[in-house]
């Protein structure tokens, strides 16, 4: 009879390596499925064709009166335009998504273009923002300039000086930063400066009344918590008559502050409340 020349240890090792290879493939597939699942959870808030699902509020005008075609869709982007303005005249605008949110990740791309509208304030040069945890546009007064909200401030450079983006501003609100109540209106982030008309990705991760992160081109540039109404602010005082001081959710809106800006790829991923 011919002797079996196979090595038992070698056989075991071969089987083990084969098993590990299969497990690696399965793990890779699971990871791919997870990525696909996460990707599928991103929902577009802007269809790239019209302003369906959004409401316009411009200072001095009634809700959904889009004066001067300020908010429009051009080449698949949501554009803030001042082509029909003779002067800005303090007509601050916001366009609100129709549904409020509480726990989510929101991401979009933005870029500043062209020249600032004549009469726009100096601080509003290449200035816009994403307003979160905001009041409803229906609750704003006709002449109110800004919704009570938390602002993820978006800024563009002037081609020379440093100017961070993804900053925090607080119209009618406060937050807790580094364990202390922060009452300063605007707080700078740690982002670099973006000059010119380049597209920049801005993301905000929101966990109700807990943690909020500002993320620019994939890097976290600012973190804070406990967004709340400012009891000394006249607009916030009106809201306090019908809601709690601590903000757990609210509207999302985009700003028109006198400089043309474009937004695209506006997407949201809702998160589970912990």
Question: Tokens in use for 117?
Answer: 């509208």
Residue 2 lies in a domain: no
Contact 255, 105 (CB under 8 A): no
Q: Are residues 128 and 254 in the same domain?
A: yes
Specify the length of the chain in residues.
274
Question: Tokens in use for 190?
Answer: 């740690």
Q: Taking all residues of the chain, what is their mean pLDDT, rounded to a whole number? A: 90
Q: Are residues 75 and 37 in the same domain?
A: no
Question: Tokens in use for 254?
Answer: 């985009």
Q: Which residues constitute the domain of residue 29?
A: 7-41
Residue 168 lies in a domain: yes
Q: Are residues 118 and 245 in the same domain?
A: yes
Q: Are residues 61 and 131 in the same domain?
A: yes
Q: Are residues 19 and 99 in the same domain?
A: no
pTM, to two decimals: 0.85
Segment 56-67, tens digit of pLDDT = 999 999 999 999
Q: Are residues 36 and 62 in the same domain?
A: no
Residue 1 lies in a domain: no
Q: Are residues 192 and 124 in the same domain?
A: yes
Segment 106-163, tens digit of pLDDT = 999 999 999 999 999 999 999 999 999 999 999 999 999 999 999 999 999 999 999 9
Question: At 134, which CATH number?
Answer: 2.60.120.560
- Provide the 3-class DSSP secondary structure of residue 68: helix
Q: Are residues 54 and 15 in the same domain?
A: no
Residue 91 lies in a domain: yes
Q: Which residues contact 169 (CB under 8 A, 6 or more apart)?
A: 129, 151, 153, 185, 186, 187
Q: Are residues 19 and 90 in the same domain?
A: no
Residue 185 lies in a domain: yes
Q: How sure is the predictor about 31, in pLDDT bands with cuts at 50, 70 and 90?
A: low
Domain count for the chain: 2
Q: Are residues 106 and 238 in the same domain?
A: yes
Q: Are residues 34 and 119 in the same domain?
A: no
List C-alpha distances in Å: 253 to 82, 108, 147. 18, 12, 9
Q: Are residues 198 and 225 in the same domain?
A: yes
Q: How far apart are CA 272 and CA 30, in angstroms?
A: 21
Task: Write down the residue that tokens 């009634």 correspond to.
Answer: 62
């Amino acid at each position: 009879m011919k002797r079996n020349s196979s090595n038992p240890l070698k056989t075991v090792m071969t089987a083990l390596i084969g098993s590990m290879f299969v497990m690696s493939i399965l793990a890779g597939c699971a990871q791919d499925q997870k990525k696909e699942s996460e990707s599928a959870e991103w929902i577009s808030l802007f269809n790239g064709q019209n302003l369906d699902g959004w409401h316009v509020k411009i200072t001095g005008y009634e809700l959904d009166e889009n004066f001067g075609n300020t908010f429009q869709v051009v080449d698949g982007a949501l554009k803030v335009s001042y082509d029909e303005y003779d002067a800005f005249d303090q007509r601050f605008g916001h366009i609100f998504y129709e549904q409020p949110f509480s726990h989510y990740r929101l991401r979009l791309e933005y870029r500043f273009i062209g020249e600032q509208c004549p009469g726009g304030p100096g601080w509003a040069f290449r200035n816009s923002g994403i307003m979160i945890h905001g009041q409803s546009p229906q609750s704003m007064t006709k002449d109110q300039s800004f919704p009570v909200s938390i602002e993820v401030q978006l800024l563009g450079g002037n081609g020379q000086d440093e100017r961070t983006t993804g900053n925090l501003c607080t119209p009618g609100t406060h937050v807790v930063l580094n364990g202390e109540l922060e009452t300063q209106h605007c707080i700078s982030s740690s982002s670099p400066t973006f000059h010119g008309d380049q597209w920049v990705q801005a993301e905000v991760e929101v966990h109700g009344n807990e943690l909020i992160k500002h993320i620019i081109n994939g890097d976290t540039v600012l973190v804070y918590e406990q967004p709340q109404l400012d009891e000394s602010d006249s607009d916030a005082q009106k809201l306090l008559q019908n809601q709690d001081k601590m903000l757990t959710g609210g509207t999302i809106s985009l700003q028109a502050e006198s400089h043309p800006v474009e937004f695209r790829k506006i997407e949201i991923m809702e998160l589970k409340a912990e």
